Amino acid sequence: MKNIIVPVDFSKHSEYALETAAILARKHDATLHVLHMLELSESLISNSSNDNTNEMMFLLALSKKKFEPFLDKDYLIDVKMEAIIKHHKVYKEVDDLAQSINADLIVMGSKGLTPSQSAFSGSNTEKMVRNSSTPVLTIKSSPDKFSLQKVILATDLSVASVSAYQRASQIFSRLGSSIQPVFINRPHNNFISSVEFKKMSEEFAAAGGTDQVAFIAAYNIEDGLLQFAEETKANCIAISTHARKGLSHFFIGSVSEDLANQSQLPVMSFKL
C-alpha cells in the first residue's frame, strides 16, 4: 500500500478519517494525500470577472489557512503527506486523483444519515461508495480502537462476484486482515435451502472463490451483516457495489450506501 487519499472538510468526522488513514500509512509506509474541495460552482470558475477571481483567491487562501492547524496533529508526525486543494465538491475529482496517483485506498469520514450538505453528509459519501474505482473505507467514529484484523465480506456466491472476492482478499491480505465471507439468506429474496447453498459454495470455490462461507438468515442484507459482525466481533464489513441502482443482483448500490450510513464499524466498499 503506497498511496491513501483522505477527503477532508475540516470537520470532526474528516479528522476521524485522517487519523485512521495515518494509522494505515504509518503501518504500511504509505503517503497520505489529504484532499479538500473548495466547493466552487462551475459558473464562478468559468466567469473571469475580477470579482469572481477575487472570491476564488479568497477561498483558496482561507482553505490554505485552515489546512495548517488541521494537519498539526501528533499522529501525523513522520507520516508522509501531501495537502491538495481542488475546485469542486464532487466525487469525480476524488476518483480522478485516485487514478492519477494509482491510489490503493480512499478513507472517508461520514456523519451518516443527515440533511447536511457538507462533504461528509451521507449523500456525498454514498456517491464515493457507489462510483469510486478505488476501494473506499468509510469511518464513522474516532479510531481509538481501530483495527482491520477481522473482516466479514458479503458474497452472493455467484461466479460473477469471484473477482470481487479475489480483489478484496488481496487488499485485506496486504493489510494483515483475516476475511470471513458470509452469505445472507433472505426469506423474500431468492431464499435457498442448505443443499442449494452447499452446491453454490462448491461452484463459487471452483471458480476461484472459497467454500469457507458462513450462512445466516436475515430479513435484509444490511441487518444480516450487522448481526453477523456483532456475533463474530468483526472489526470491519466489506461489500461490493455496482455503480448503478435498480439491479436484481445481490450487490446493489443502496446496500453498500446504507451500510456506510448505518454501521458504526468501518465499511470497505469495492466497485464491481
Check for a shared fold between 3-139 and 150-271: yes
Nearest to 199 by CA among 183, 188, 175: 183
Band (pLDDT 50/70/90 cuts) for residue 36 is confident
Distance separating alpha carbons of residues 52 and 59, to the nearest angstrom: 11
pLDDT tens digits along 109-143:
887 544 344 444 445 666 777 678 899 998 988 99
- CATH number corresponding to 3-139: 3.40.50.620
Quote the Cα angle for 26-37-27, to 5°: 5
Q: Is the pTM of this model over 0.85?
A: no
Band (pLDDT 50/70/90 cuts) for residue 93 is confident
pLDDT tens digits along 179-232:
999 999 998 878 999 999 999 999 999 999 999 999 999 998 888 999 999 999
- What is the longest distance spanned by two Cα atoms in the chain? 71
pLDDT of 242 = 57
β partners of residue 35: 7, 84
Band (pLDDT 50/70/90 cuts) for residue 258 is low
Band (pLDDT 50/70/90 cuts) for residue 9 is confident
How far is CA 267 from each of CA 67, 79, 81, 153, rounded to the nearest angstrom?
27, 24, 24, 10
Distance separating alpha carbons of residues 259 and 201, to the nearest angstrom: 24
Grid coordinates belonging to 198 = 452447499
pLDDT tens digits along 135-170:
999 898 899 889 999 999 999 898 888 988 998 999
pLDDT of 261 = 66
On whether the CB atoms of residues 3 and 104 are closer than 8 A, the answer is yes
pLDDT at residue 41 is higher than 80: no
Domain boundaries, the chain: 3-139, 150-271
The superfamily in CATH containing domain 150-271 is HUPs (3.40.50.620)
Distance separating alpha carbons of residues 120 and 27, to the nearest angstrom: 26
Grid coordinates belonging to 218 = 436475515
pLDDT tens digits along 43-67:
444 555 555 555 556 556 667 788 8
